[in-house]
Structure 1
Amino acid sequence: MAYINRAMEATFKRMAQEFSVILLTGPRQVGKTTMLKRLAEAEGVNREYVTLDDITEREMAKNDPKLFLQLHKPPVFIDEVQYAPELFPYIKIYVDEHQQAGAFWLTGSQIFKLMDGVQESLAGRVGLLHMSPLSQAEACGYPSEPFTVELERLLTRSKAVAPASIQDVFERIWRGGMPAIVSGAKKEQTAVYSSYISTYIDRDVKEITDRVDSFKFLSFVTVVAALTSQMVNYKTIADAVEISVPTVKNWLNILERLGIIFYLHPYSNNLLKRMVTKPKLYFYDSGLVAYLTKWTDSETLMNGAMSGAILENFVVSEIVKSYQNAGLEPFIYYYRDKDNKEIDIVLERNGTLYPLEIKKTMMPDKRWTNVFGVLDKTSLKRGTGGILCLSDKFTAFDRDNLIIPVWEI
């Protein structure tokens, strides 16, 4: 399989010079192990690799973590470390004694459960990164940088990235970001995603809780995918799957912990009195959404009833990935009030709010930017806004309202 360079490589190497422990989380099959093995080869030190997918190694790590670390001395790369949180106190002892940068490279597939253990034992000693499926920039071999709504930076980027047609954009959406598919190593996309789902149900989900009916859970994930880019409605999901609302909340938490879904929360400010409070739900991988909602090719998806919602999912996830790959937390929200005024994305940077609308069109209407004025009620400054759309070039309505092609993110 041809290796696809990851935008996070430079970020990881920089953090490995600053922290004794680097923890890279993210769902399975997105390329965590592949990237770190490649970086270890280029590192020039004899870094041992051990995976806790190996039952023997896992049992030792859980039952005698001190012996495990005596046998696997730093510098060491421990894969799937979530299986043995018992290691964390002993890693802390080693780190405090040796103060060795890059001593432990760790990966894990159960994000939030894992972070709780890390925060208890390794607070201030660990650099945290999250890897998602490939971004379109990574898949196309373009430079990756945190998305901003700055005229000059967007103008420069538009000249560095090749334009993509509507058909090309929806091909990227439908194909998704799993490295095995994007690299061409596996041709049968349906088989890859089918295996991916069954792996999660049979292995990782049941690792978290054994009270899951596999068939019900698959039905649940499918319903959630059909509701992507919408405000979460627990009762709607519960009724569709015939499970309880508490079960919906528990299963959504599992999907979030495994790095499958994430939320945008509504932007709130003490000067805004009529805000909705429900988050909107998105998948990190648009290809998984397309598979679950049974779109068999990109053209059918492009012309289908979900095209707008899945385009929004793609855009939001691309922006989030652009920050994750740089090791940064994205301050990204949506706006909706009880008068049904809505802004798809509100980016907050340095005390300024940048409003963005996402539209499935090549020719956006300037009137769509009128809603941006609702942010003038907040205590923060309103910055440049934009329409993210399927335009074939980067341009602008005026200096304050840009037209940004989706392929440029």
Structure 2
Amino acid sequence: MHDYVDRKICVSILADLKLFPAVALLGPRQAGKSTLARELAKSLDHSVYLDLESQEDVAKLSNPELFLGMHAGSTVILDEVQTMPSIFPVLRSAIDRDRHPGRFLLLGSASRHLVNQSSESLAGRIGFVEMSGFLPDECPEDTDSLFKLLSRGGFPESFLAESDSDSYRWRQAFIKSYVERDLPLLGLGAPPQLIRRLWAMAAHLQGQVLNVSTLASSLGSSTSSIRRYLDFMEDALLLRLLPPWVGNLKKRLVKAPKLYLRDCGIAHALLSIKDRDEMMGHPGWGAQWESLVVESCLRWCPNATASFYRTSNGTEVDLVLESGARRVIIEAKASASPSVGRGFWTAVSDIDAFAAFICAPVATMYPLHDKVSVVPIVDLKRCLTEIGFAD
């Protein structure tokens, strides 16, 4: 049993509970949603927790109107709510009778069905908060913890495991469970062996521009099927498809998205990378660092518009964040002595960036230009917060 680790996302959840009658906390299984909800319950005046994968708790909702009426003054926490879609109309009726904020906290393994169901039934009554595994600012600020996060990923059971071998076995079991049980339960109708191969191929393509036709050909499947599977896995918060920047430039820009696995520890398990030494020696090490930087920035800046910039002649930057009329560039470099080429400076000019950060595993932040800095990932959130991009 591990000690509880404070999660930064608590602030967002509590803020939404003061604003909306219902709040949905979405994330992949094992991201720590249930643990977080139980900790949050301690700070609420009155709360009741039900796990809808427990038959005992499901039985309590045999007459949901009566049960919810009995607890009208409490925050009712419903875990794995996607397993009981019939509850959403009941929640809507309960909220319409009493719209005071913080009545319901709904935990769900993210899926298109859950989001659509809750959005349709609870439109205007619900706020959504997305949860991932641990981020760099939730780990101790030292090099060992950072590389541990890179190697093992952010899922709590993996990151906090007693050893690298325990962490690796946990991630292999997680992948097997998701492919054989969880994704089918969420509604993905595809052969588990095919999804396992697709997931592994995605790990090999970490940070690359997506070519669905090539994937489909390699897997012996249709382009439309592979696109549908990728979209489903993105909805389940396992993958991220980062769109290209579409600014009004007289240049030919890449139009396909870039593909990322959202947890680098899961990517390493799919690539059979067992520990830090194997990670550092793998040719995909730079792509895994880029994945961590991109995913962290998008979690820290949920209200910014995110994209990547790449022209047909190869000029590229990893991440463009836009807020209003301002744009920030972030380039990931997996080197303690990072350098950038002419293409980076061209992109800074093309995009008219307000600021640019080169995120690398360095000890301290230092300037490279009047609006370009090299920054360690532990300081990147602070920099983005200071210029109004991060919460």
The alignment's TM-score, normalised by the length of structure 2, stands at: 0.89
> What residue is the counterpart of 2:135 in the other structure?
135
> What residue is the counterpart of 1:145 in the other structure?
none
Checking the alignment, whether the CA contact within 8 Å between 1:82 and 1:109 is kept in structure 2 is yes
Corresponding residue SS for 1:382: coil
Tell me by how many angstroms 1:376 deviates: 4.1
CA gap 1:186/1:111 in 2 versus in 1, 3 angstroms: farther
Structure 1: which amino acid aligns with 2:236?
Answer: L
* 2: CA distance, partners of 1:103 / 1:168: 38
Tell me by how many angstroms 1:352 deviates: 1.0
CA gap 1:54/1:369 in 2 versus in 1, 3 angstroms: farther
Correspondence list, 1:276-291, <5 A: 276-291=254-269
Tell me by how many angstroms 1:258 deviates: 1.3
Tell me by how many angstroms 1:229 deviates: 0.7
* 1: CA distance, partners of 2:58 / 2:231: 25
Checking the alignment, whether the CA contact within 8 Å between 1:20 and 1:100 is kept in structure 2 is yes
* 1: CA distance, partners of 2:44 / 2:70: 21
> What residue is the counterpart of 1:373 in the other structure?
346
> What residue is the counterpart of 2:327 in the other structure?
353
Corresponding residue SS for 1:14: helix
Checking the alignment, whether the CA contact within 8 Å between 1:139 and 1:177 is kept in structure 2 is no
> What residue is the counterpart of 2:216 in the other structure?
238
RMSD: 2.4
> What residue is the counterpart of 1:171 in the other structure?
148
Tell me by how many angstroms 1:121 deviates: 1.7
* 1: CA distance, partners of 2:115 / 2:283: 38
Residues 58-98 of structure 1, C-alpha deviations (whole Å, 9 max, x = no match): 5886x975466457655311111112222222212211221
Correspondence list, 1:231-270, <5 A: 231-270=209-248
Structure 2: which amino acid aligns with 1:43?
Answer: L
Corresponding residue SS for 2:171: helix
> What residue is the counterpart of 2:190 in the other structure?
212
Tell me by how many angstroms 1:55 deviates: 4.6
Tell me by how many angstroms 1:235 deviates: 2.0
* 2: CA distance, partners of 1:7 / 1:363: 30
* 2: CA distance, partners of 1:23 / 1:209: 19
> What residue is the counterpart of 1:32 in the other structure?
33
Report percent identity of matched pairs: 25
Structure 2: which amino acid aligns with 1:400?
Answer: K
* 2: CA distance, partners of 1:345 / 1:372: 14
Checking the alignment, whether the CA contact within 8 Å between 2:188 and 2:232 is kept in structure 1 is no
> What residue is the counterpart of 1:84 in the other structure?
84
> What residue is the counterpart of 1:193 in the other structure?
171
> What residue is the counterpart of 1:96 in the other structure?
96
1:23 aligns with 2:24: yes
Q: Which runs of 5+ in 2 are unaligned?
A: 381-391
Structure 2: which amino acid aligns with 1:357?
Answer: E
> What residue is the counterpart of 1:332 in the other structure?
306
* 2: CA distance, partners of 1:87 / 1:198: 30
Tell me by how many angstroms 1:35 deviates: 0.6
Corresponding residue SS for 2:243: strand
Corresponding residue SS for 1:344: strand
Checking the alignment, whether the CA contact within 8 Å between 2:148 and 2:159 is kept in structure 1 is no
* 2: CA distance, partners of 1:386 / 1:377: 16
Residues 270-298 of structure 1, C-alpha deviations (whole Å, 9 max, x = no match): 33541111111112211011111111211
Structure 1: which amino acid aligns with 2:100?
Answer: Q
CA gap 1:341/1:54 in 2 versus in 1, 3 angstroms: same
* 1: CA distance, partners of 2:317 / 2:85: 41
> What residue is the counterpart of 1:386 in the other structure?
357
CA gap 1:172/1:392 in 2 versus in 1, 3 angstroms: same
Tell me by how many angstroms 1:341 deviates: 1.1
> What residue is the counterpart of 2:387 in the other structure?
none
Structure 2: which amino acid aligns with 1:204?
Answer: D
| 1:343 aligned residue (317, 326, 349) | 317
Checking the alignment, whether the CA contact within 8 Å between 1:369 and 1:385 is kept in structure 2 is no
Structure 1: which amino acid aligns with 2:346?
Answer: G
Number of aligned positions between the proteins:
377
Tell me by how many angstroms 1:335 deviates: 0.2
> What residue is the counterpart of 2:279 in the other structure?
301
Tell me by how many angstroms 1:230 deviates: 0.8
CA gap 1:194/1:72 in 2 versus in 1, 3 angstroms: farther
> What residue is the counterpart of 1:399 in the other structure?
370
Residues 200-248 of structure 1, C-alpha deviations (whole Å, 9 max, x = no match): 1222211234632222221111111111111111122223322222221
CA gap 1:218/1:123 in 2 versus in 1, 3 angstroms: same
Structure 2: which amino acid aligns with 1:174?
Answer: S
Corresponding residue SS for 1:346: strand
CA gap 1:339/1:60 in 2 versus in 1, 3 angstroms: farther
> What residue is the counterpart of 1:4 in the other structure?
5
Checking the alignment, whether the CA contact within 8 Å between 1:113 and 1:257 is kept in structure 2 is no
Structure 1: which amino acid aligns with 2:337?
Answer: M
Structure 1: which amino acid aligns with 2:32?
Answer: G
| 1:228 aligned residue (177, 196, 206) | 206
* 1: CA distance, partners of 2:7 / 2:145: 21
Pick 1 or 2: higher relative contact order, CA cutoff 8 A, min separation 6: 1
* 2: CA distance, partners of 1:14 / 1:91: 20
Correspondence list, 1:44-55, <5 A: 44-45=45-46, 47-55=47-55
